[in-house]
């Protein structure tokens, strides 16, 4: 696809993401007219003033609930889309998602352990990020056991780490109080954006800006990881170092997001496929597209999660319900091709 066409597609995707963001502010159990929402968001400069007595309610709904939640949904989806696209490129496998190396389960262990010890508190996010990064350290240690195909060793190490962390999560749930701690763990593991706050937005946004910026800055070099390490070296790119730098940056993104919103699957698997259908497999185009598509996807799913039923559905459940059939459609359209 020509560069001009790619820019046009990404611009359209950005408009779609902006529309999804706007809808998430207007639509909900307490619908807010567009003009009234614009009036509140612009400080009364544009739009229609709310009815007398409704100002405080509308301000609270927009600025305390919907705005931080929409921002967090967009940032989370963007990070997961970027992580999935980067990992699929590194491992040259279209079935790879952001949890391939066990960082998701490692982060989950830290959070559920913190809930067991201290209850659901800010300490849970700190401990979750710590164990997520510890999972990455475990992967590094496992890859040093023996030499071989670096991608195969990484995948096998990820399987080992995931199994270990999953067993520890199950152990913590087994010993947890079934009337207090266990329900909190179960709900968190299903993934939710209901407790979004501006501090969460700042943390996830800063992580995505720094770590995601590193991945985007290296995006043209990721194309060379489809070659063997010796061939990539001939182009002046040290493939092993590049691989570990990208993995480390993506690990930070995943650990931060999982510790903040819980386990949300399928996004990092589906979004890169959509991006490849739209702009092709070349990473200088694919990664920005995956970033924007991921934001749009998460915004739409979160909007559905809080509006289609009287009780809010955890986002992690809905991404699986929506993601599985969507993935089948994508496979049918692409025939499993990813190059």
* pLDDT for the residue 148: 67
Contacts of 38 (CB under 8 A, 6+ apart): 46, 47, 48
CA-closest candidate to residue 153, choices 215, 91, 233, 221: 91
From residue 315, give the alpha-carbon distance in Å to each of 25, 62, 298: 17, 20, 9
Cα–Cα distance for residue pair 222/217, rounded to 1 Å: 10
Output the six-digit token pair for 321. 């319900």
Do 125 and 260 form a contact (C-beta atoms < 8 A)? yes
> Residue ranges of the chain with pLDDT lower than 70?
1-4, 53, 146-148, 229, 334-339
Cα–Cα distance for residue pair 331/316, rounded to 1 Å: 22
Backbone angles phi, psi at 111, to 5 degrees: -70, -50
Where are the domains positioned within the chain?
3-334
Cα–Cα distance for residue pair 337/339, rounded to 1 Å: 6
Cα–Cα distance for residue pair 109/105, rounded to 1 Å: 6
* pLDDT for the residue 1: 55
Q: Is the domain defined by 3-334 classed in CATH 1.10.10.60?
A: no
CA 258 to chain centre: 8
List Cβ<8 Å contacts ≥24 apart for 167-170.
168/109, 168/113, 169/105, 169/108, 169/109, 169/112
* pLDDT for the residue 257: 93
- Helix, strand or coil, per DSSP, at residue 314: coil
CA 249 to chain centre: 13
Do 83 and 98 form a contact (C-beta atoms < 8 A)? yes
Do 132 and 105 form a contact (C-beta atoms < 8 A)? no
């Amino acid at each position: 696809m020509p560069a001009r066409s790619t820019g046009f597609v990404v611009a359209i995707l950005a408009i779609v993401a902006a529309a999804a963001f706007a809808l998430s502010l207007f639509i909900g159990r307490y619908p807010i007219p567009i003009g009234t929402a614009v009036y509140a968001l612009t400080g009364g400069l544009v739009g229609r003033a709310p009815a007398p007595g409704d100002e405080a309610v509308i301000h609270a709904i927009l600025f305390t609930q919907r705005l931080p939640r929409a921002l967090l949904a967009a940032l989370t989806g963007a990070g997961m889309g970027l992580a999935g696209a980067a990992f699929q490129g590194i491992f040259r496998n279209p079935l790879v998602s952001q949890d391939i190396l066990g960082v998701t389960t490692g982060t989950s262990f830290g959070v559920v352990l913190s809930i067991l010890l201290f209850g659901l508190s800010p300490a849970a996010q700190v401990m979750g990020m710590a164990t997520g990064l510890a999972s990455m350290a475990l992967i590094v240690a496992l890859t040093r056991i023996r030499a071989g195909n670096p991608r195969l060793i990484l995948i096998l190490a990820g399987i080992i780490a995931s199994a270990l962390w999953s067993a520890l999560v199950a152990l913590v749930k087994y010993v947890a109080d079934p009337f207090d701690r266990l329900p909190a763990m179960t709900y968190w593991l299903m993934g939710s954006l209901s407790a979004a706050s501006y501090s969460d937005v700042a943390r996830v946004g800063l992580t995505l800006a720094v770590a995601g910026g590193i991945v985007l800055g290296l995006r043209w070099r990721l194309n060379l990881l489809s070659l063997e390490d010796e061939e990539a070296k001939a182009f002046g790119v040290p493939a092993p170092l590049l691989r570990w730098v990208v993995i480390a940056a993506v690990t930070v993104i995943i650990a931060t997001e999982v510790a903040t919103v819980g386990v949300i699957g399928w996004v990092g698997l589906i979004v890169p496929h959509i991006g490849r259908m739209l702009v092709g497999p070349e990473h200088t185009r694919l990664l920005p597209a995956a970033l924007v598509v991921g934001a749009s996807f998460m915004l739409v799913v979160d909007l559905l999660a809080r509006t289609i039923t009287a009780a809010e559905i955890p986002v992690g459940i809905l991404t699986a319900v929506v993601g599985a059939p969507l993935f089948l459609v994508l496979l049918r359209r692409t025939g499993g091709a990813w190059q």
